[in-house]
Amino acid sequence: KVSVRQYQCCLDTLEGLVVARMFELTRMNMSQTGYNLRKHIGNALRSRSVAIRAAVGRYNVAAATLTPPRQELCWDEVVEYAFLADFDLLRDARQDIRSRPWATPAARQAMDGYFKLLRAEEEIVQLNVEICRFITFMCDEDAELSTKEVEVGLTDPALAFQIQVQRSHITWFTPRHLKNIHDIGQLPGFSGNLS
């Protein structure tokens, strides 16, 4: 009984580490995962690999004490597990999670899609705010540069000319940006306010 309990604990630990590693690998390979997050996940994977290696050793010791002894695992075999369905070790667990709905690749893709939709709705709200900020910025920048051009022109005409050149470069695309924003405002489903 003690050896079975110890085996079960070792199996639970190994299972948790391997499943967490699988999900981290999935997250790392997702598009739109930024550099910093990838770096963080990479560091977590390195430390998790050390923990998995130790857990495999403890599992093998516990598996050998059972009657009949369970299959020993090697590090290379555990690292090759890409999906929960490949993880044969889970059949010896207290609960076979391979049959859980969230354990299949299709279900994980559906969950990823669902959460992307949720983030997209948040992004739309944020973009509605950003569009207004962008319009305000363009108008304020032109007004500020015009004011500075006149103000500096009284004392330093050369600098005023450079401000005018800079303003003309910056504001050259303002009408095009405003037209594009207006066109966006005409799209069906646009929920922002351009006034």
| Category of 189 on φ-ψ map: left (φ > 0), alpha (ψ -120 to 50) or beta | left
Question: What pLDDT is stored for residue 115 in this prediction?
Answer: 83
Backbone angles phi, psi at 29, to 5 degrees: -90, 0
Number of residues in the chain: 195
Q: How many domains does the chain have?
A: 2
Q: Are residues 137 and 97 in the same domain?
A: no
Q: Are residues 129 and 93 in the same domain?
A: no
Cβ within 8 Å of residue 178, ≥6 positions away: 135, 138
Q: Are residues 99 and 148 in the same domain?
A: no
Q: Is residue 181 part of a domain?
A: yes
Q: Using only the alpha carbons of the chain, give its radius of gyration.
A: 30
Global confidence as pTM:
0.46
Q: Are 110 and 132 in contact (CB under 8 A)?
A: no
Q: Are residues 7 and 95 in the same domain?
A: yes
Q: Is residue 37 part of a domain?
A: yes
SS3 annotation, the chain = CHHHHHHHHHHHHHHHHHHHHHHHHHHHCCCCCCHHHHHHHHHHHHHHHHHHHHHHHHHHHHHHHCCCCCCCCCHHHHHCCCCHHHCHHHHHCCCCHHHCHHHCHHHHHHHHHHHHHHHHHHHHHHHHHHHHHHHHHHHHHHHHHHHHHHHHHCCCHHHHHHHHHHHHHHHCCHHHHHHHHHHHHCCCCCCCCCC
Q: Are residues 6 and 91 in the same domain?
A: yes
Q: Are residues 85 and 6 in the same domain?
A: yes
Q: What is the pLDDT along the chain (195 residues), one digit of tens a residue?
A: 678 888 888 888 888 888 777 777 776 666 566 667 767 777 777 777 888 889 889 988 888 888 788 778 887 777 766 555 455 555 555 555 656 676 677 777 788 888 888 888 888 888 888 898 999 999 899 999 999 999 999 999 999 999 999 999 988 888 999 999 999 888 888 888 887
Q: Are residues 175 and 132 in the same domain?
A: yes
Per the structure, the complete domain to which residue 29 belongs is given by 2-103
Q: Is residue 192 part of a domain?
A: no
Q: Is residue 128 part of a domain?
A: yes
Q: Are residues 8 and 59 in the same domain?
A: yes
Q: Are residues 13 and 80 in the same domain?
A: yes
Q: Are 47 and 89 in contact (CB under 8 A)?
A: no
Q: Are residues 140 and 178 in the same domain?
A: yes
Q: Are residues 82 and 20 in the same domain?
A: yes
Q: Is residue 110 part of a domain?
A: no
